[in-house]
């Protein structure tokens, strides 16, 4: 079963996104910020999908994506930014940093599923 890494400083949001990922066929690993997520990736390098919040303490989502995309070990991981940031400029920054897709909160299970189909993470 493919693994998904859910990164959000909100425990309830990790539960919501994690449930959606499980329903779509993923084993789930969680982290509360970008630094924890990098540590989780070091332990679980086979993560296929990363669903990442933008606004987090310690290391935010944009910094995390930049760090992941700078490390060739994780080049095959699909990264989706899941955030309350709704400005087009923020979306462009995330995509330029290496995000494959962008989902704005609040979202539905269908929205996540559709974005994952677009990038080929689910069928």
How high is the mean pLDDT in each 10-residue block of the chain (123 residues)? 96 94 96 96 93 93 96 93 86 93 89 92 85
Question: Residue 51: its pLDDT value, please?
Answer: 96
Task: Supply the pLDDT for residue 122.
Answer: 87
Q: What is the largest CA-CA distance in the chain?
A: 35
The CATH class for the domain spanning 3-118 reads: alpha beta
Please list, in sequence order, all residues whose beta carbon lies within 8 angstroms of the beta carbon of residue 82, skipping any fewer than 6 positions away.
Answer: 8, 17, 51, 52, 53, 103, 105, 107, 112
Q: Give residue 101's pLDDT.
A: 93
Which of 33, 31, 43, 44 shows the shortest CA–CA distance to 3? 44
The CA angle 81-118-53, to the nearest 5 degrees, is: 10
Q: What is the per-residue pLDDT for 92?
A: 92
Note the pLDDT of residue 90: 87
pLDDT of residue 45: 86
- Rg of the chain, C-alpha, whole Å: 13
Whole-angstrom CA distances from 95 to 17, 28, 107 are 20, 23, 19
């Amino acid at each position: 079963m493919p693994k998904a890494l859910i990164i959000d400083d909100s425990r309830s949001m990790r539960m919501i996104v994690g449930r959606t990922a499980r329903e779509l066929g993923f084993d789930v690993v969680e982290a509360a910020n970008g630094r924890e997520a990098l540590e989780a990736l070091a332990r679980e390098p086979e993560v296929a999908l990363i669903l990442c919040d933008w606004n987090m303490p310690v290391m935010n989502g944009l910094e995390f994506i930049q760090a992941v995309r700078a490390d060739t070990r994780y080049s095959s991981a699909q990264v989706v930014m899941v955030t309350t940031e709704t400005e087009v400029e923020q979306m462009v920054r995330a995509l330029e940093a290496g995000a494959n897709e962008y989902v704005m909160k609040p979202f539905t299970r269908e929205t996540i599923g559709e974005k994952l189909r677009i990038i080929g993470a689910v069928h």
